[in-house]
Chains A and B, each alone.
Chain A
Amino acid sequence: MLIKIVEHIDLNEAYANLHTPEAGAVNLFVGTVRNHSKGKEVVHLDFEAYEAMALHQMQHVANAAQSKWPLCKLVMIHAVGAKSPGDPVVVVGVSSAHRDASFEACRFLIDELKKTVPIWKKEFYEDNSVWVNAHP
């Protein structure tokens, strides 16, 4: 199991960590920076993490996935710092014997990460910036 927070995501490293001869399926989700949000052009993003808690909560999510599906390997990597449109900011992935478990577990990992892991995104536009989700 590979869980970490980094400045720059290495997709090859994530994929290499899922590889195992027991698996018939590798499923890797990559979340990237979108160049627009609510009709405005996004110039760049800043990600901030409460790293100790984020790693702890990512571990909870990973443990829950492993108890729900028969997984071979699992990775969860989130980036912090300044990111530009197109950059990868999060990678979650699993390998499993069959594809159904891999699709379901991969979806679960990203959905739960977004709900509970203490990481914050600030979007910068041409004229201002906002913390995403902060206000109703």
Chain B
Amino acid sequence: MLFLLISMEILLFGIAREIVGKTKLAVPTNQNITTVKSLKTWLGQQYPAIQTLSSLAVAVDSEYAQDEDVLNGDNEIALIPPVSGG
């Protein structure tokens, strides 16, 4: 079951990067994180400060993902805290 050994890596930016303290976070394979929603829940448990943000989005391959979307370690996954460009 090679599939289970591939861990997911999450890119972090802005305040999410500061909260976690690194630019990339490896998600443990034993956490059964398969969807955007389960990733957000796990992150909120690991890093309670994440829960205080105005909003939190997840991007998969540069597109905003929905809560029910399935995550796959082959894709580029990133955490998108509230944006403030412009």
A positions within 8 Å CB-CB of B:
31, 47-50, 52-54, 56-57, 78, 89-90, 110, 113-122, 131-136
Contact = CB atoms under 8 A, between A and B. Distances in A.
B21 to A, nearest CB: 15
Contact of B85 (A52, A56, A119, A134): A119
Contact of B81 (A31, A117, A120, A136): A120
A131 B86 contact: no
A120 B83 contact: yes
Interface of B: 11, 13-15, 18, 52-54, 59, 62-64, 76, 78, 80-86
Contacts, number: 80
Given A48-B13, A50-B11, A133 B83 contact: yes
A57 to B, nearest CB: 7
Given A53-B59, A56-B62, A118-B59, A133 B82 contact: yes
A58 B15 CA distance: 22
7 contacts: A53-B78, A78-B86, A113-B86, A118-B80, A121-B84, A134-B54, A134-B84
